[in-house]
Structure 1
Amino acid sequence: MRLIFFLLTFCFVISVKAQFNNSLDFDGINDYVNLNSVAPALTNENSFTVEFWIKANPIQEELWGVLFAINPITGYQNTLVFRMSGPGDGGPLNSVAINIPVGTTNNVVCGSINVLDNACHHVAYTYNNGINTLFIDGIFQGSLNLSFSLVSTDRYSLGQEFDEPMGTLSQFYKGSIDDLRIWNFAKSQEEIHGLMNQELIGTETGLLAYYNFNQGIAGGNNTAINALIDNSGNNQSGFFIGFSLNGTNSNFVEVICCDFYGNYQSETNQPFSLNTIVTNENCGNNDGSIDVSVPLVPNNYSFQWPSLNENDHFVQHLTAGTYNLIITDNQGCSIDTTILVTSSSASNVPAPEPQIYCQNDNADPLQLTPAAGGIIHWYSDSMMTNELSGNPIPSTSNSGTFYYYFAQEINECFSFVDSVEIIISPTIDVNIGNDTTLCYGESLPISLIGNYSSIEWSDASNSVDYSISSSGEYWVTVTSGACFASDTIVVNFYPKIDVSLGSDTSICNGSTISLSPEGMVGSYSWSTGETSPIIVVGLPGIYAVEVNVGGCTNSDTINVSLIPSVETVLLSDSVLCLDKTNVLSIIDSEWYQVAWNSASSGNSYTVPTSHPTSIIYEVSSVCEAIIDTIQLTYKDCECLLFIPNSFTPDGNEFNNSFQVISDCNLSYFQLMIFNRWGDLIFESQDINYLWDGTYNGVICPFGLYNWKVTYRPDVDSSETVEKYGHVNIIK
């Protein structure tokens, strides 16, 4: 067996306290220190630190024994309480907590380190712009964000808090306190750790108050002392309340405890060194050993190996690994350290990167390159109970994460077991549907269903939703882990269905017309209910057809109108005027053509001045033609109007009004009268209505007034006539 010996020496140097190494003991009944002198120095401070050492009595007289508290001058509500932890704090009952109450709500940060172990512990609180942080033994315990303000009238106390009712002393702390320091800035964890085991000079930057408690005689009669000295030189002394200051409690006492590093603290310097001899394990034969000795005072120490359940300075039959050792001196102070036992076994082979496959893929054999003279062994388990032959090929039949284990053998020595991670991604599928044909103008929406890591369509787009609106072949490829899947779809579109019944048309009364979509082959649905490709109609109306070709449809409509009979426009016999130009007219229409006396054509005909007694004319359409004769008679059509040129609207019985008189019947009449400025002052369309010479009920001034008469005699072929003149109103 090959043995390798190491000589390791650990040296732990303790911190040395000052010549007067006192602390202050609190009896937990009525002892506390009034520190109100600190209030002005911390007024309106946005950051500060309070730190000190404690050795708490494991049996506290009250729950939540207060170490340090700030209370407002009025009321009992605390601003800050630095105390022992208790029920409801959310942490262990043997630690320290800070509480910033708001109303009836406690806002607590609770430590996790046991301080009721009859040992000394350093506690610190920092406030930095609303961030409240707790440290125990230089270790961060927690923080909360809650702001408060400090004023010069606040009450500061060490060892109790003011409680309800107002001003009541309560929650006294039992144990000792030493080395109280108050700073005007928030110390970092490194700054706390760096100075907590050293006494201060008192002139350090940012130090507001410093109480080292090195006053009087430890355990002696100190009743003549009534003030706690501020060693910072800032004259912020405290005052003892309730202390007996005589005897071994409620007085200055000697500090006897271990510091943060586990060293015994006393007034003398004791070196604490270890000699450690380690025999490393050989080839996994469990033959390592550790021998620890304390050369200076070997009989004052005990040894404990928690993982080995041994309590001797020498342990053997060890495998390679790290071993925890706790050494305790005769004062109960302990140091906790670890010692490493290595192995002369084969060196480790670096583990390869995880192998990733898709389910049911063909995996490659696992291969590692051993060191010179080495052999790689593969196992299915980390305990090396089931060795695999050769280079194993990972199974990909099931998805999940699996491990293959390996170790290197060199000269019958094995390295530590390591593993290769095999990740099998579950298979995936993608389906974008069957090949299809759509109608012109439609689109095919596709939405992928699945949790894919990447998507790629045939046009390089990568969205979950896709739309197809033109004919072609489309594909998509998706991936998830090491798996991928693809699908293809062919989409065609029917050509546009052009349905046309032609332009609107007309038919003769009693005739029919055939309607059919031009050049379309498919199924038909007519508005008449018929389904044949051709229908015959003989009535006017709007006809519609819908054509279905392969499930795609289109439609058209046609308006079929009836050509009117020419009988509806034939003329009746007429009486014409002898002294007028007489015109015969037939309704102007696209349906008809007219010929007059076989000589002229058109919808109108001017009767010759020879006054013929009859006119022969022909009216024809595409449906029929009729020759008709109209009988004509003539009469004198002249119509005379009698219009006076003056009247006297003076109220007597003669010539009081203006009236137009006609010798014939009129089909239309209008009289309008204007004053000299052209204003309309009278209007009537009744020839029998008289103007009384007034306007708005007032007799008009005498003088000339213009009139306009528009009329049309009630005679065939008469035209509208306009006449103008004036009438004179006289007195």
Structure 2
Amino acid sequence: YIDTLQSINGCDSIISQTLNIDATPVVTLGNDTAFCVGNSLILDAGAGATSYQWMSGSTSGFLQQTFTVNVTGTYYVTATIGVCSATDTINVTVIQPIFTNLTNASVCQGDSSLIFGNYQSIAGNYYDTLMAASTGCDSILVQQLIVNPNVSTNATATICNGDSILLGGAYQNTSGSYYDTLQTQAGCDSLVITLLNVTNGFTTNWADTICEGESLFVGGAFQIVTGIYYDSLQAINGCDSLVITNLLVSPKPTVIATASPSYIVAGESAQLNATGGGTYQWSPLNNLTCGTCENPVASPLETTIYTVTVDSNGCIASDTTLVEVDSEFKIPEGFSPNGDGVNDLFEIVGIAKYPNNNIIIINRWGNKVFEAAPYKSNWDGTSQFGITIGEKLPSGTYFYILDLGKENPSGKQEIKGYIYINR
């Protein structure tokens, strides 16, 4: 095509242009379609175009005439010839399989279950496919197999000798292992192995001793008579325990306490005596030669009641005896004949009550220095015998032998002691 135009300077301007008319491409992707998962679809934009541009969502740039798809989506294609183009669109759906979970199958260990045409004995999920009429695609069936274990349990049981227990399908009374097959909640076998112990009771023998007048609770009552008694108790293992008690009832000792003499003057002694056997314990212990002897000697300074306690085989009894002391009679241990008017004489308090008395005094060498019958508490320490006759005896210890005569309440013939002269 040629055009004549006038330019700005007033002259003609000739413009020549060639016009080419391109053909418009034809693009037909067809109707929307669907196919089963696992397959693919080839989209074809048709031949004749010089270039192609495919798009799916945000993805573009595929330049071939055909485009393979396997994902659900909307696909676009633009075909171009020269400056002319045409576009078409198609919706593609990929059909997913339908999963159907069947009821779980359950078997006991060692058994099997028919699942989808095969016998299975291992726990897990098993699958099968089935054509779905609605889609023409596969439908997947899922079934889980649960294998319940057979349970084995160990147990122990204890019974007393003479009892029995139901084990192994029968009543047992002998120690050993017994087996019982039970059914668990899942319907499988459960093996119970029971170790049975048969325990004997205990027999205990012991002896006990009580004293006459006491009692001991044995044989179901308080016993006071020597004999053998039986008690049935429950031991720590729950079985009967027989206790055999040999009971001995010991008599209490017969205790008799005496004093000879039972009446003395101060300075004299009394022989205490006890009977009954076993061990002895006297009280009070003051002025007593032995507190645990059978026959101690007592020299009380005043009237005293002595108690003896006798223990014979654990049985105890006691008795008392009285020793009366003439407290008005007293022999001094010394005097001081120095002429001061105080304690110048050997004065025996209460000697006048014994008019038939006599006394002898000797020195440490056994020589008699004084004698009187009766003695009237009048000796002043002067010698009456030997080479010292009439002389004042020197300071020192002297010894006396005093006989109170027939008036002596103890019946003793002599009282012996010492006297100290202090000048």
Q: Which structure has more strand as a fraction of its residues?
A: 2
Report the structure number with the largest CA radius of gyration: 2
TM-score under structure 1 length normalisation: 0.21
TM-score under structure 2 length normalisation: 0.32
